[in-house]
Structure 1
Amino acid sequence: MSRVRGRDTKPELAIRSELHRRGLRFRVHQRPIESFRRTADIVFRPAMVAVMIDGCYWHGCPDHHRPSTKNSVFWREKIASNLKRDQETNETLSAAGWLVLRFWEHEDPRSVADRIQELVIARRVSPRHKSR
């Protein structure tokens, strides 16, 4: 497990590259809320948008996750705890006014970037977020 990348994965890099190419600027691997010990893969602070790129195995993708046959109880509990933590993260950030976007690692980087760009621009022009 120590060899599993927790940041700067190929899907993350592809999406970040596409966003940067479009002129969007962001922070990477930062805590949206400083006191909350969870990081987002991509953070747009002024728009208050946190983007997570979830791995199919580690986050239980309904299309691609295949349960392990070895040590299955451990892995089933591990994935369940990851899903619970993801839900807690979504709820905490949302309650603080953040928009949380989650995408799967298998999704097309261009379509992911389209969606992110659309929502970031919409939140940037929103009167609620202009003063921040």
Structure 2
Amino acid sequence: MADVFSRKQRSEIMSRVKGRGNRLTELRLLDLFREHGFVGWRRNAAVFGRPDFVFFKARVAIFVDGCFWHACPTHGAIPSTNVEFWTAKLDRNKRRDRLVVRELKKRGWTPVRIWQHELRRPELVLRRLNRVLERSPRRSAMKR
């Protein structure tokens, strides 16, 4: 079915649509933290790269990456329209993600990236987070 709006009108309409980030995937991880007694985490912390969750004492920064926006090798796909734009956009996102990981490591942080699809297997995510937090030199961020 053809669009009833011109390309310019559609662009104007879509530019007004405001995203909510990856709020739902973040909330899934938040529920896991609460359910399993993780303490010491913060959201919206002013840390380089804007991690979704931060354990300050353990110096662990957690990012929940959406499969589309971060070009998941398993589920990421480039839309069939405007391919050039989306390829460039997703490549920039991947480069930024690598830069953030490198910079956080330089600053003494442990960055953890969790794919959106990994939250379907919470037991694996929890095992990984426990392992990272237990290795932390400051173990006070572990579970109660």
Change beyond 3 A, Cα 1:59–1:78: same
Cα distance in structure 2, aligned partners of 1:49 and 1:31? 13
Q: Distance in 2 between matches of 1:16 and 1:113?
A: 12
Matched residues in 2 for 1:70 and 1:76: separation? 11
Greater helix share, structure number: 2
Q: Give 3-state SS (helix, strand or coil) of 1:30's partner.
A: coil
**TM-score of the superposed pair, with normalisation by structure 2:** 0.76
TM-score, normalised relative to structure 1 = 0.83
What corresponds to 1:41 in structure 2?
Answer: 52
Q: Give 2:65's aligned residue.
A: 54
Q: Give yes or no for the alignment of 1:17 onto 2:31.
A: yes
Whether the aligned pair in 1 keeps the contact of 2:51 and 2:61 (CA below 8 Å) is yes
1:111 to 124, 136, 144: 124
User: Where does residue 74 of structure 2 map in the other structure?
Assistant: 63
Compare 62-71 and 19-28 and name the one that shifted more.
19-28
Counting matched residue pairs gives: 121
Give the direction of change, closer, same or farther, for the CA distance of 1:51–1:7 in structure 2 (3 Å limit): same
1:91 Cα deviation from its structure 2 partner: 0.6
Q: Compare CA radii of gyration and give the structure with the larger one.
A: 2
Cα RMSD (Å): 1.7
**Pairwise CA distance, 1:7:** 4.4
Q: Taking every aligned residue pair, what percent have the same amino acid on both sides? A: 32
Does 1:73 pair with 2:84?
Answer: yes
Gaps of 5+ in 2: 1-13, 140-144
Give the conservation status (yes or no) of the 8 Å contact 2:22–2:66.
no
Partners of 1:21 and 1:75 in 2: CA distance: 37
